[in-house]
Structure 1
């Protein structure tokens, strides 16, 4: 039975998408729920799966084409595939002949080399161009030895055998288009700086109490909960408690109205190969430390694999970003509208500090809170950040709800 394959129904926040990769060709057998196509939006990559066992009879939208919500992208025929297409048959015969010729010459059959750039799919050509990878150096795992986007990505992750050799005095430039996600992030960041009265206040926190607690209980915590005890769960819980005390920091501006949220959905900024994404932990006031750590771990894995859904990145009343993972000592994070504040964590740095008239070397971290001064006054912003500082320096208060 012939059916239409359509693009997913996009949320209101997503206008359209781009066909990134066709994993199956016309006439190629596919199984039910097998991924046949990737559609890239400005937030996530959506997978389109086969509705049943059968084959694609026609591709309506090629790689690189823009598609709208619920738009037809291909025609599909249910039922078993009777046999290989004429093109596939010719390719198969050529491979057999090549292998036989090699064997007759006394040499072992060799794996077919990857095709030149011009013979690759548009998405693969784009990946090769952006990465500067020579297709001859990539081992293709696709049909007929063709290179896939995953092959390019895997090749890039391998350590280089030799450094790139550039002639003395040579000046190299490379121009590549922005990905949809990178363009969207750029638009939102620019809008945040232009449409909000953004200020940043700073403080510092002594991380020694948390580090000692983590050292003492991390093994037992992991054994009981199956999650690594990191610093992020302490920050999420401390921020949630501070949001309860300062409702304006958990609010948003909608036109001339202020929307105060009676729930706490904390977004955690995660860096991925495609750009910065912010999955959201829902109802963090009801989550324990293990649930926070497991949630962040799951989101990080999905971000690496490009599997985050739009729903997982939609909403959020407050955001935490950690530039310290990359070595940043101090920064001014940019608000994620329509939210009105964002907390920036940074690198833990040992510094000499004055404690009760004595100099001690302590592991210190700078904290930064960027906030929209249209809604949040300086007094509230400073009080919010001081609350987080106090709860982190005396974690027993947080655990005992003091």
Structure 2
């Protein structure tokens, strides 16, 4: 029974998609829910799986073709023995090849089909020793294999030529200018479009501060083993920043707002996106209702997002919405940067590398692990006062984590 394979229903924010990869070819057997194809959209990669046991009978959209929501991309034969078709085709080809070989009257030279001759060479069988059972005494491939299996094979009179080794890749000559051109993925193209749009439409400004990471590092060193044993996830730094950002957003609600036309939308909840780098581009999965999450919940969710991003399993629902974004360039060694807004959000926080620096503390020089923080914000919505106050609040909460628990 044939059935149509359709593209999934795309959400309103996704206009179309592109066939990225076909994992199965027509006639190739597959099981129910086995991956057939990947469809790349502006936001995520969607998977098409087999509706039942069977095989693809026809592919209507090739890799690289643009498709619309619910468009038919292939036809699937339910219950088809996918491996039988190639086997039957090979058998028919052998029979045709055998029929095409003319009979030879020379009794010293057995009549071989091309398939039988190839099998004889591969198995070291002397064709003159094999009794043919085919039409007019032809030696078939099955005759050769049966003879080889019986153990009566002797080396063929002429040894097969030794396989020629593949030529080693030639080193690039000095001064040679090598180029490689690949198409930009839809996800990376969309990210680029949104970043350019943010720079062109928002009055973007960045303010900086620095935070002493020693209190959090000491806290993490003291409790990380107990934390992991109790909650089943490691204690990282990101959860502290997400928690501090949530508290700072509640104290400065305008940083958590967004612009919709001529209106300002104030969100009564904190959905914080965490920028994650993947092979296909930058993605921003969202932690929802952060105010109700524990540090362990945050760490577990962030870890799951990282695994999904690596495997290309993030769904559109994982990245929809968000009222504020945190980007951590420090994991790649960035010491200082100016993050770009994630529209329509009003602000984005940039974390950076923890660097030991000499700091003046109570009139003395002390070596402390310091991190620069950067807050890029839309000056159409935020004034410098709100942005700087938000960043100072972040600094105070991170340098004294007890403030987050005591809400002071």
TM-score exceeds 0.5: yes
The structure 1 residue matched to 2:346, chosen from 337, 340, 343, is: 340
The structure 1 residue matched to 2:246, chosen from 227, 240, 259, is: 240
Q: Contact 2:27–2:86 (CA<8 Å) still a contact in 1?
A: no
Could you list the runs of 5+ residues in structure 2 that have no partner in the other structure? 95-113, 126-165
Give the secondary structure class of the aligned counterpart of 1:210.
Answer: helix
**Is 2:265 the counterpart of 1:259?**
yes
Give the secondary structure class of the aligned counterpart of 1:185.
Answer: helix
**Is 2:232 the counterpart of 1:226?**
yes
Q: Contact 2:28–2:82 (CA<8 Å) still a contact in 1?
A: no
Report the equivalent of 1:176: 182
Give the secondary structure class of the aligned counterpart of 1:85.
Answer: helix
Give the secondary structure class of the aligned counterpart of 1:368.
Answer: strand
Q: Show the 5 A alignment for 1:354-373.
A: 354-373=360-379
In 1, Cα distance between the equivalents of 2:219 and 2:82?
Answer: 64
Q: Show the 5 A alignment for 1:69-80.
A: 69-80=69-80
**Is 2:127 the counterpart of 1:104?**
no
The structure 1 residue matched to 2:283, chosen from 262, 277, 285, is: 277
Distance 1:83 1:240, change over 3 A: closer
TM-score normalized by the length of structure 1: 0.82
Report the equivalent of 1:12: 12
- Deviation digits for residues 161-187 of structure 1, max 9, x if unmatched? x99943222222222221111111110
In 1, Cα distance between the equivalents of 2:82 and 2:182?
Answer: 42
**Is 2:294 the counterpart of 1:288?**
yes
Instruction: Tell me the CA shift for residue 2 of structure 1.
Output: 2.1
The structure 1 segments of at least 4 consecutive aligned residues displaced by more than 4 Å after TM superposition are: 86-89, 91-100
Give the secondary structure class of the aligned counterpart of 1:188.
Answer: helix
Give the secondary structure class of the aligned counterpart of 1:64.
Answer: coil
Instruction: Tell me the CA shift for residue 256 of structure 1.
Output: 0.3
Instruction: Tell me the CA shift for residue 311 of structure 1.
Output: 0.9
In 2, Cα distance between the equivalents of 1:303 and 1:328?
Answer: 21
**Is 2:81 the counterpart of 1:81?**
yes
The structure 1 residue matched to 2:326, chosen from 295, 320, 326, is: 320
Q: Contact 2:30–2:82 (CA<8 Å) still a contact in 1?
A: no
Instruction: Tell me the CA shift for residue 55 of structure 1.
Output: 1.9
Report the equivalent of 2:34: 34
Give the secondary structure class of the aligned counterpart of 1:229.
Answer: coil
* RMSD (CA atoms): 2.4
Report the equivalent of 1:308: 314
Distance 1:164 1:182, change over 3 A: farther
Q: How many residues align?
A: 349
In 2, Cα distance between the equivalents of 1:190 and 1:18?
Answer: 23
Instruction: Tell me the CA shift for residue 400 of structure 1.
Output: 2.2
In 2, Cα distance between the equivalents of 1:301 and 1:95?
Answer: 48
> Which of the pair has more CA radius of gyration?
2
Instruction: Tell me the CA shift for residue 63 of structure 1.
Output: 1.1
Distance 1:95 1:379, change over 3 A: farther
Report the equivalent of 2:405: 399
Give the secondary structure class of the aligned counterpart of 1:390.
Answer: helix
Q: Contact 2:27–2:82 (CA<8 Å) still a contact in 1?
A: no
Report the equivalent of 1:54: 54
- Deviation digits for residues 178-219 of structure 1, max 9, x if unmatched? 111111111011000000000000000000000000000000
Distance 1:355 1:69, change over 3 A: same
